[in-house]
Structure 1
Amino acid sequence: MKRVTDALAVSRSNTYERSRSPRPRPERYSKAEDAFLLPLIVELLGGRQTYGYRRIQRLLNRQLIAGGRTPVNHKRVYRIMRQNNLLLARFTGSRSDKAHTGKVSTLQRNQRWCSDGFEIVCDNGERVRVIFALDTCDREVMAYSATTGGYSADMAQSVMLACVEKRFGDVKTLQSVEWLSDNGSCYTARETITFAAALGIVSKFTPARSPQSNGMAEALVKTFKRDYVFCNDRSDAETVMAQLPGWFEDYNENAPHKALRMLSPREFIRSLQNLECPV
């Protein structure tokens, strides 16, 4: 065949493919399967109103795989949601032109932890203030502290200690860990920096008026408020604080993350543990 294709100046691979018996055409997608998937998608959206088709596809495939079914492509989920007017509205706002050129994420766990705080305004006017910390590799929220008062150094220190105990099971880190935060007084207080150093934590602060330098923590604040705070009852501070543990647990265990290949933080951690050498 090579001599023939060389003489005719045609592609050998194409000629070989045409010489083979014709393959059966793949079956087109089944609308009956779409009818089966639609109720599942609607059920997922009932509790995840802020999720787009990518994250819904991830949650849907979890259910399908658990039931012994074949996972579906994101294009099918998009088509079903588009046909039934279930897609989110496109973002039409403007983004800040103050880009951050540094890199917050790390390739390994327990190298850098970032922290930030946010405020939840309740319907009755009460305010809940939360400080949290997450790992810049696996995105897990390791600890948080909430109060109806103001941010304090004690809150930041309690979160630091909880992170060390969760990741290292002791009162000191096994290696130096960076703690990235803004210049809030609870972080820059001398007692907080001294306390962090005693735990093996190196305090790092973002430049003034540069929230993009701690973009991972800032992004979590936006995601947390959109997916949990604004979609649930926040009639008073007591109600909000009672829901916080469940919200953070759901984020860690179930929320798909694009940077983690659409895995939740805990799923990503388990996948890393499965890859570790047993020796």
Structure 2
Amino acid sequence: MRLTKLLDVLGARASWYRRAAPSEAASGSSAAAAVGDAKPARRGPSPRDITMHERHVIQTVAQAFPWYGYKKIALICRRLDEPIALRKVYRVMKECGLLHRLRKRIDERARLEVQRLSELLPRRPNELWQTDVTYIPIAGYGWWYAITVIDYYSRYLLALKLTHSYAAVQAVEALRAAVAEATRRHGPLTRPVFLVTDNGTSFIARRFRAALDDVRIAGTGISVFSQVRIGYRMPTQLGLLERFHETLKREEVYWNLYADPRDARQKLEIFHERYNQARPHWALVAAEPQAAPARILTPHEVYVRGLKVNPPSWSRWVGWLEKDQALEALPSHKNAERISA
């Protein structure tokens, strides 16, 4: 028989602890009350006081080498036959405001990328569009392709074109369908539109770029579209459409077995209308809930009805950039007048 079963039969516990006697418990509580909330004593020898001579040496060396941190200042003091402990150097430099500020290092490439993204930040519909291609299987017909164009601010799906190829010709047709939908809802485009694409063959082709130049602002010779291509092997920069394609697969493609491309187009058109008009989007949080039918809006309510939403989540990149620029403008050490005071 196992020991635990034997103890259960005997009514004994497998583990036990000694209960303090009443006299011991009373003496322990009185001792704790006498001590109060005092912190436990620090182990080791008590820190030595910093002499005036040491303080003067540290301040002098730190002022002579303002671009060095406290560790290197302590090393220089030792080389000057002034062996001062590292913790003393840190304490004095902290009290005098001579410690360096911790700066977040951002390389120039990342800085330029953030600046470019801050310029792209949309504040209304038809300021930033994204286009991409995804694969759709059709039994008996192999892989077909859905070319999509979406408005970033409202998440409104402007075009969803199913085609057997994703060559530049089909990409141009999808773009023209998006322009036609935007014109139907808001009239001719009167402001420049940033069009974000990846580096696929259809989007870097001359025919596609020529089609972008052909779309002009009414009454001017200015091209509507300004193409912005993401970095190579960086699909997260096109994350909005990547996430939409996942929604397309989960809510439509994986639920149906298309009989043929015609059947697929009909069902995709039903999904297109449902996505824009009936599906609330978590990113579309109403900026004025009192004037909105709900807190979470649909793309149709934002793009067509003109309801305002809170800024996109990537706006914090702009704050990151501004904070870093402000930090770069600060001096690396405090003014010497404060030290002398």
Task: Pick the TM interval, shorter chain.
Answer: 0.5 to 0.7
1:158 paired residue among 162, 173, 178: 173
Residues 1:254 and 1:152: Cα distance change in structure 2 (over 3 Å): same
> 1:273: how far off?
5.5
Distance across 1 between alignment mates of 2:262 and 2:121:
34
Tell me, yes or no, if the aligned pair for 2:169 and 2:207 is still in contact at 8 Å.
Answer: no
**Corresponding residue for residue 184 of structure 1:** 200
2:154 paired residue among 138, 151, 161: 138
Alpha-carbon RMSD: 2.6
Q: Which amino acid is 2:176 matched to?
A: L
> 1:197: how far off?
1.8
Tell me, yes or no, if the aligned pair for 2:302 and 2:308 is still in contact at 8 Å.
Answer: no
Distance across 2 between alignment mates of 1:116 and 1:132:
6
Distance across 2 between alignment mates of 1:145 and 1:221:
13
Q: Answer yes or no: is 1:252 the counterpart of 2:276.
A: yes
Q: Which amino acid is 2:230 matched to?
A: T
Tell me, yes or no, if the aligned pair for 1:233 and 1:239 is still in contact at 8 Å.
Answer: no
1:226 paired residue among 247, 250, 256: 250
Tell me, yes or no, if the aligned pair for 1:168 and 1:174 is still in contact at 8 Å.
Answer: no
Tell me, yes or no, if the aligned pair for 1:117 and 1:132 is still in contact at 8 Å.
Answer: yes
Residues 1:146 and 1:270: Cα distance change in structure 2 (over 3 Å): closer
Residues 1:240 and 1:214: Cα distance change in structure 2 (over 3 Å): same
1:112 paired residue among 123, 128, 141: 128
Runs of 4+ displaced beyond 4 Å: 100-105, 169-172
The one-character-per-residue Cα deviations of 1:5-58 (angstroms, maximum 9, x if unpaired) are: xxxxxxxxxxxxxxxxxxxxxxxxxxxxxxxxxxxxxxxxxxxxxxxxxxxxxx
Classify the secondary structure of the residue corresponding to 2:252. Answer: helix
Distance across 2 between alignment mates of 1:240 and 1:204:
31
> 1:247: how far off?
1.1
Tell me, yes or no, if the aligned pair for 2:172 and 2:208 is still in contact at 8 Å.
Answer: yes
> 1:270: how far off?
4.6
**Corresponding residue for residue 269 of structure 1:** 303
Distance across 1 between alignment mates of 2:166 and 2:304:
33
Point out the structure with max Rg over C-alpha.
2
Which deviates more from structure 2 when the two are superposed, residues 193-202 or residues 128-137?
193-202
> 1:105: how far off?
5.7
The aligned runs of 1:51-66 (5 Å cut-off) are none
Tell me, yes or no, if the aligned pair for 1:172 and 1:198 is still in contact at 8 Å.
Answer: no
Distance across 2 between alignment mates of 1:122 and 1:167:
30
Q: Answer yes or no: is 1:241 the counterpart of 2:256.
A: no
Which deviates more from structure 2 when the two are superposed, residues 134-143 or residues 162-171?
162-171
Distance across 1 between alignment mates of 2:308 and 2:236:
33
Aligned residues: 175
Percent identity at matched positions?
23
> 1:142: how far off?
0.7
Distance across 2 between alignment mates of 1:129 and 1:180:
19
Distance across 1 between alignment mates of 2:236 and 2:264:
28
Tell me, yes or no, if the aligned pair for 1:126 and 1:237 is still in contact at 8 Å.
Answer: no
The one-character-per-residue Cα deviations of 1:225-260 (angstroms, maximum 9, x if unpaired) are: 101111123344332222111111111111110011
Distance across 1 between alignment mates of 2:139 and 2:276:
27
Distance across 1 between alignment mates of 2:297 and 2:255:
22
Q: Which amino acid is 1:159 matched to?
A: A
**Corresponding residue for residue 292 of structure 2:** none
Distance across 2 between alignment mates of 1:134 and 1:195:
18
Q: Which amino acid is 1:158 matched to?
A: E
Q: Answer yes or no: is 1:210 the counterpart of 2:226.
A: no
1:129 paired residue among 125, 145, 153: 145
